């Protein structure tokens, strides 16, 4: 399960979502600029205010860290 915490103006959020789409990976997106409970959840889990924050099966990735994302998803390039 992939969850991504985003904002509409975040370029790296768009890059992450485009990457997931290119790999045919499903994800749930939470717009933390509007969804305050999810914003609080993101901050509690990571201490981060910046986006994207990506939750892959309970493991948190701060930013679009492609090598870490690939490792967690076991994606082969």
Measure the CA–CA gap between 18 and 67, rounded to whole angstroms: 16
The mean per-residue pLDDT over the stretch 46-57 comes to: 95
Give the pLDDT band (50/70/90) at residue 54. very high
pLDDT attached to residue 76: 73
pLDDT for 77: 62
Q: Convert the pLDDT of each residue in 2-48 to its tens digit.
A: 999 999 999 999 999 999 999 999 999 999 999 999 999 999 999 98
* Cα–Cα distance measured from residue 70 to residue 31, given in angstroms and rounded to the nearest whole number: 23
Supply 36's token pair: 């305050």
Could you tell me the domains of the chain? 2-73 (3.40.30.10)
- Between residues 76 and 53, the one the model is more confident about: 53
């Amino acid at each position: 399960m992939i969850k991504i915490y985003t904002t509409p103006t975040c370029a790296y959020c768009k890059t992450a979502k485009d990457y997931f789409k290119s790999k045919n990976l499903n994800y749930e997106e939470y717009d933390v600029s509007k969804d305050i409970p999810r914003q609080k959840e993101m901050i509690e889990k990571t201490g981060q205010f910046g986006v994207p924050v990506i939750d892959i099966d309970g493991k948190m990735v701060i930013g679009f860290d492609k090598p870490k994302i690939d490792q967690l998803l076991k994606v082969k390039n």
